[in-house]
Amino acid sequence: MFVDSHCHLDGPKFAQDRGEVLFRAQEAGLEALVVIGNGEGPADMDCGARLAEGHDWMWATAGVHPHEARLADEAAYQSLDRLTQHPKIIAVGETGLDYHYDHSPREVQRAVFVRQMEIARARKKPIVIHNRPSDNTENAWVDLLHLLDEHWASSGLGGVLHCFTGEWKHARAALDMGFMISFAGNVTYPKAQSTRDAAREIPLDRMLIETDSPYLAPVPHRGKRNEPAYVVETAGQIAELRGMTRDELGLATTENFYRFFNLR
């Protein structure tokens, strides 16, 4: 029993075999997955909902990724507001900050992030956070946590820190604001010791797992296209860190998913 709480199944990387990918996911023991609705930019943020509509075991999000924040306009915000009312949309995002690539100016990223938090708050949806610092590892974390404290924490809606790569202190601050912490395949990478340290410390009832497909394939699939079935490898790594079996970790994170999103 596993849930991939964050995957990107739209686009050309899955165009030829998406059905086979979904079949392999269910064969691997996945009973639900969340398709992230960023697409190629704000005009495509309904991509997750479109995919999820045809599958009763799939859910979706919608939002403007920080990479495309420069493209957000009033029409995009109106579209996001409409999409939050779609029955398959369970969260706004992924949204947040990316100071590593800086595809959009940082001040624009921050403004677009705040606007999406306002929409999510009004529609009572949690948010899914992308946060990637530059080489100065504190800069994006300082800005992110400040914006969340100022514009989101009081909503009580929480959210998900997706593909967590920070330190325990960052996770603890997010936990205090009601967030779930989600781990992806990079927790299996040799240099990701700080991520493994955090995965060992996070309270079990506040943890999710994901693939971030098609990115960040876990060991032993590293270097290949990632897909939802591989979330079991991430579960195995975290279970080993915590002295559990893979299935126990899968069951716990699955229950966390349904409870947090109030789906069952």
Tell me if 204 sits within 8 A of 183, measured CB to CB: no
* 41 burial type by CB count under 10 A (0-12 exposed, 13-18 middle, 19+ buried): middle
What's the Rg (C-alpha) of the chain? 17
In this structure, are residues 116 and 100 in contact, taking their beta carbons and an 8 Å threshold? no
In single-letter form, the type of residue at position 184 comes to: A
- Can you give the residue range of the structural domain that contains 89? 2-260
Instruction: Please name the amino acid found at residue 180.
Output: M
CATH number, domain of 63, equals: 3.20.20.140
Domain count, the chain: 1
| pTM exceeding 0.85 | yes
Residue 127's nearest CA partner among 158, 86, 168 is: 158
- What phi, psi does 50 have (nearest 5°)? -60, -40
**Helix ranges restricted to H, 29-73:** 47-52
pLDDT given for residue 14 in this prediction: 97
Regions in the chain scoring below 50 on pLDDT: none
Q: What is the C-alpha to C-alpha distance for residues 123 and 134, in angstroms, rounded to an integer? A: 32
Measured CA to CA in angstroms, residue 81 lies from 61, 85, 87, 116 at distances of 12, 7, 13, 9
CA distances from residue 55 to 27, 59, 75, 158, 202 in whole angstroms, order as listed: 15, 8, 28, 26, 31
Look-up of token digits 């990479």: 67
CA distances from 59 to 39, 50, 146, 251 (A): 15, 10, 29, 18
- Please name the amino acid found at residue 108: V
How far from chain centre, in Å, is Cα 214? 13
Cβ contact 176:203 at 8 Å: no
The span from the CA of 198 to the CA of 207, in Å, is 11
Buried b (16+ CB within 10 A) or exposed e, 151-167: bbbebebbbbbbbbbbb
Q: Spell 117-142 as b/e; 16+ CB within 10 A means b.
A: bebbbebebbbbbbbbbeeeeeebbe
Is residue 228 within 8 Å of 186, Cβ to Cβ?
no
Q: Quote the DSSP letter at residue 225.
A: P
